[in-house]
A = this chain, B = another copy of it.
Amino acid sequence: MRILESPTSAQSRRRARRHPEAATIFVEGDGNAESLRVLAGIVRLVRHTEDGRRCVLDFRFPGQVFGRSADDHLLTAEAATDCLIESVEDAEERGELEADTSLLDRVTCLAVRLACCSATERVAQFLLEVHERLAADSVFTLPLSRQDVADHLGIRSETLCRCLAHLAREGMIATRSGQVVEIHDPAALHAAAHEGRRRACRSGGAGADIGQ
């Protein structure tokens, strides 16, 4: 199993803890508000509903922090892949802490997407965003299961497959062996991520006009 690694992880593996894939790192609502940082692997922040459904609110990639505030512990953190996790204090010591974007902002953006965007738009947005967050090459490995991505985007895994296939047929991306994604035409992908324009601007009526 390949593990995504942050550039600095090699020299800092000292006090890192290892979490095997699917392990629970902390549970929603536990009092224990520890701040953690991903060294390698991918963490998913999820909420399980009382009726057995699951929703992936966000992913954390190498170098990113989670569980920072008490609010962050409103979600459960799980290892989406095998993970190396250290405490934030360790990273702080070494001055490796990046400014992390607010979880509220992340979840808000997700809610807006879920409310407004079609499945294909969501998938395109997700690809672009992951690509950017990983600061990856145009070809990159995304070691997430289809189910994890689908649960994040609020669609079925079959729909996710179809959207990927569609984007691939249009020549915007290619998927090699499932987890390897290649972005061929970022501009077109970006357009696909924001198609809804037409459908849009009726909502507000008065206030919001586009103009671009």
Contacts and interface: CB of A to CB of B under 8 A. Distances in A.
A1 interface: no
Interface in A118-161: 147, 151, 153-154
A115 interface: yes
A145 to B, nearest CB: 10
Interface string A12-45: 0000000000100000000000000000000000
A77 to B, nearest CB: 13
Contacts of A179: none
Contact of A104 (B51, B74, B154): B74
Interface string A44-79: 000111111111010000000000000100110000
A121 to B, nearest CB: 10
Interface stretch (A81-89, A165-173, A204-212): A204-212
Given A48-B208, A71-B105, A210-B52, A57 B111 contact: yes
Interface stretch (A3-11, A180-188, A194-202): A194-202
A134 to B, nearest CB: 22
Given A22-B207, A104-B103, A207-B22, A51 B200 contact: yes
A91 interface: no
| Interface size classification for chain A | 35 or more
Contacts of A196: 51, 53
A110 B116 CA distance: 13
A199 to B, nearest CB: 8
A205 B103 CA distance: 27
Nearest to A112: B55
Interface of A: 22, 47-55, 57, 71, 74-75, 102-105, 107-108, 110-112, 114-116, 147, 151, 153-154, 194, 196-197, 200-201, 203-210, 212
Given A51-B197, A53-B112, A147-B203, 17 more contacts: A47-B112, A50-B212, A51-B200, A51-B210, A52-B201, A52-B203, A53-B200, A55-B112, A71-B105, A74-B105, A104-B107, A107-B108, A114-B114, A115-B151, A116-B154, A147-B205, A151-B203
